[in-house]
Amino acid sequence: MLKIDLNGKIALVTGGSRGIGEGITRCLCNAGAYTVFTHTGNLARSKRIEELVESIIKEGGKTKDAAVDALDYTGMSALVRSIVKERGRLDILVCNVGKNLARDVAEMNETDWRRFIDINLSSVFYAVKAAISHMVKRHYGRIILIGSSAAYDGGGGAIDYAAAKAGISGMMLYLCKVYVKKGINTNVVHPCVIGTDLVRERYNTQELWQRLVSQIPVGRVGRPEDIGGMVAFLASSWGC
C-alpha cells in the first residue's frame, strides 16, 4: 500500500494557519514532517492559531507557528536561518500565501495592482530566495507552489490574481530547469474551488452555495485536505 512518509523531514509552509494552508500544515504533520507555518500575527486570530498548534500536537504531530510578513524578505530569511540552525536543514518549502479580491478592472488603481501582485507573486519569490541556497548546499529540496485554476480559466473576478497565479507557473518552470540537477524538485498545485472560510463568506447563502456546487463536475466543493494530501505526496519520495 502506498504510504506517504515524511518522518524526519523539516517543512516550512507560508500562510499555513487557515484555509488551504491549514490543510497543508495538518497533512504534512500527519505524514511525520516537523512543520513550521507562518501567519500575519493578527491578534484576532491568535486563539485559532494556538488551537491549531495544540490539536496537531495532540494528534502526534510536530509543529510551530511564526508571525512573519510574507513580503518581508529579511524576516523570511531570518526564519529560514533559524529553522536550519535549530533543525539542521530545510527539506520542504510550501508557498501558499495569497489573496483574491473580486472586482472589475475599471475599479482598480495602480496601487491595487502592485499590492496584489506582491501578495500573490512576490511573496513566493521571497520565500524561495530565502530557502534555495540552503537546499542547494544539501543537494536536496522539495518546493511546492500553490497557484490557482485562475491561471487557466481567468479565475473568479480579479485580473491581478489571475496574472500572479499564472506567473507562479513560470516560476515553477524556471526552478525545474535550473535546480532539478541540484537535487531540488519544484511542483505547482493549482486548486479550483476549495471550501475555505473566505469562499464561504463570498457564497454566503444556500442559493449561492448550491449554484457554485452545481458548476463543479464532481458535485462538491474541494476540501483543504484535498490540497494538503497532494502537497504531502509531492513532498515525499513518491513525488520525485
What are the distances in angstroms from CA 161 to CA 99, 155, 158, 226? 8, 8, 5, 22
Question: Which stretches of the chain are DSSP H helices?
Answer: 19-30, 46-58, 73-87, 110-117, 123-138, 150-153, 159-179, 197-202, 206-214, 224-235
Contacts of 105 (CB under 8 A, 6+ apart): 159
Question: What does the alpha-carbon distance between residue 125 and residue 64 come to, in Å, rounded to a whole number?
Answer: 23
The question of whether 34 is a catalytic residue gets the answer no
In the set 73, 140, 152, 161, the catalytic residue is 161
Rg (CA), the chain: 17
> So which residues are the catalytic ones?
161
